[in-house]
Chains A and B, each alone.
Chain A
């Protein structure tokens, strides 16, 4: 199915012949993606792919789509199915040409960026000036703007550097019907420093917690908060691919771990570390995926895993901590506070926080966030839950994730990672965490892909309602039946979303598939 001819001609007039294509090879290269643990496939084939170069071109494209009833969707780095236009024959708007860092305001600590600026690029420029940014869990290869405006946004350093949705400041937004709107202080001509006001903020409408995933128009610029970085302006890297390491440890930066004998001690420590405000990164990752990160091939990972040193059943509750400081005295203080907290909770600090060689080997991953994609190496990475809540609640969800996963691992459908591959990251410097129960499937094996889907569905169907825990925002949460069931338990959010969608997008041309569809908007 192609774009109507008149629409195609109009779109071609907007961007020029070289920036739009309806060739089948091009269209199919955008149709394929992975479903985050439920397999990989060619999903809906776009009718065409277009590459705008400016907000004005985006506006014109959106207006053409409204005129001709063509469903469209913004696409950036495009990692996972929800990045695709999921309506057959829709227009995929690839924002790759809009890739500039427009401004770095050091005094007010924000950076203004276009959609295709990746975390790795922004971080490299910020560090030269003594700043850093939150890079989401997917890693340095993904769009910062997409995380801020459209989807999720939790990252390894979100404890100190915030989550992407909260880092969002001024926004330039092409609404679903094509009007260009500037939100927050930007809309008042006061600059990019705030995403809210004057008057009621529309940030919740724009994205809420999970993001509208391309269903509410296209974001063409945003400002994102940046954070103080006391480390070096350039990172001195040694080694050869794939084994890059720091040439020497970065002073006043600590990457360490702590382990605790009980769930209760662990959770207490999380709260105390939050209260103490000593960490910029607080996380827990599954041991299997930790083994992946530490090795250069699946064979090497398997060899290491077989040694039994990383058996999840034996290792207790452990935490990975990142701390930064401006001076040695400050870091000494932070380390003492950490050690006191850990001791109070009967735990042990590991990872050589005071050993330069140990730090040299550990620090790299805390800074560059360059290797999350390695979790796709053995087989496709899948994720479930994606919930947020107080540390206690998140830990309960983690335990349930492990319990639910056992069936699917024992049946052979999921990779045997010892059941426990939960990834938790502290967010917003306080008492909150984000949790994902990771797993791996082989997309080549239909039974494995099916197992992944069933596992995510089971968690999504049962965990919130049965255990009164937080709603999952990953996996198949945009399944209409899920929205219908949970919406009625949570202030009828699905009704509000439907109203927002209808008000902003009367022709429903901004691809609604990952947001709210007509089937879900039923009041209860």
Chain B
């Protein structure tokens, strides 16, 4: 669907501003009440979901054209989906889908940020979002005794994802993951050099065509390899596979899991046991794509009808993106001996973004770091000694933010703690 197909819903924007906040039912303080990093930093209404939709309506109606400020307003957004949750509590509209289609329009009309264009060129050339050579994709696995997925059927294919494959700080997490899975007796393989990007960040930047190519290619590859499970450490990738891939319309003969879901199962089955104590109080950051990106959702076909004269009914099932992967990472943390979990105020489906998503890290790095600092402040307010997360992009952005200020607060990927406790 194009944004023009959502015109009725653009007109029906209630201007209630719920999109700027976490669900009011969950508000616990003045300080951590907001849900939208974009309006938090930039303050003009245009930088909210509602403002963007209204501006898009003005564009469609021919009232305004494109401008640098308009581009900034649209792309200074992590596409975290907080607005979607908050709006759908009181409305039947599709804020996140509309934001995606607005971006697609900007891209189609040639108004994507230049940095995004460059990133996508890199994706087309090297099949990753980091501009690194495709030949180096599998370097993280060098020396690791792990099956090549093409060599024979494996139950589980581990998709490392771009950031775990190429970021030197995170590569060890991918390596440790494989070691752990093998130790637990999992029949795991990797695609190695043939692993390619999930396409999810391209989608969120507005490059839906590029996404489609990667989605189709990955689905075909995994189907052909006969995998039962595709598991990934990357929450971004996970959300893409779980929520966006079904939109492609190809049958997926495999289950998509985030690594925390698989590990949680293995711990419960007794195949992984923690033997060392880690006496630490931590807080857990729900990555957006594990929280709000974990549900299948096919956007509506555009049909609506009215009953009771003016009651608008949509001909599709309303999906509120609240059934995310919340328990598995928490179960894991709680089962590590000595570890105590304290929760932040904004968690689960109303988690506050780390700052890295939606192409923001690439194009507006200062905004990405600003958002990370907001979240780190919330983490510290719990009294925790460290923040734990389950997404490479989150960890990378938090780490960058801490380094920027010379902070001593710790950030861990959940795999790091699991490894320490083994």
Residues of A within 8 A of B (CB): 19, 21, 23-26, 28-34, 40, 42, 49, 51, 77-80, 94, 96-97, 101, 117-118, 120-125, 128, 139-141, 234, 237, 240-242, 244, 296-299, 301-302, 305, 364, 368-371, 373-374, 376-381, 409, 412-417, 440-445, 448
Contacts and interface: CB of A to CB of B under 8 A. Distances in A.
B222 to A, nearest CB: 30
A442 B312 CA distance: 8
B343 to A, nearest CB: 12
Interface of B: 8, 11-18, 21, 23-30, 33, 39, 43-46, 50-52, 54-55, 57-59, 61, 63-65, 67, 69-70, 73, 85, 88-92, 306-314, 318, 320, 322-323, 348-350
A80 B85 CA distance: 22
Nearest to B64: A24
Contacts of A117: 30
Contacts of A298: 92, 311-314
B63 A101 contact: no
A19 B322 CA distance: 35
B44 A376 contact: no
Contact of B92 (A77, A377, A442): A377
Nearest to A40: B11
Contacts, number: 219
10 contacts: A25-B69, A26-B46, A94-B43, A140-B24, A240-B348, A378-B312, A379-B12, A415-B311, A416-B311, A442-B306
A122 to B, nearest CB: 7
A297 B92 contact: yes
B366 to A, nearest CB: 12
A200 B59 CA distance: 52
B8 A101 contact: no
Contacts of B21: 118, 120, 141
Q: What DSSP secondary structure best describes chain B's contact surface? A: mixed
A101 B31 CA distance: 10
Closest 9 CB pairs of A and B: A370-B24, A376-B14, A23-B69, A25-B70, A29-B51, A415-B310, A244-B25, A373-B90, A28-B58
A240 B325 CA distance: 13
A373 B309 CA distance: 20
A374 B25 contact: no
A25 B64 contact: yes
A381 B45 CA distance: 22
A379 B92 CA distance: 10
A413 B309 contact: yes
Given A302-B313, A374-B90, A78 B306 contact: no
Given A241-B349, A368-B24, A49 B44 contact: yes
A503 B67 CA distance: 42
Given A237-B25, A302-B307, A379-B312, 7 more contacts: A26-B44, A32-B57, A139-B16, A240-B348, A241-B349, A242-B88, A448-B309
A376 B89 contact: no
Given A77-B17, A368-B25, A32 B58 contact: yes
Given A241-B88, A440-B311, A443-B11, A25 B58 contact: yes
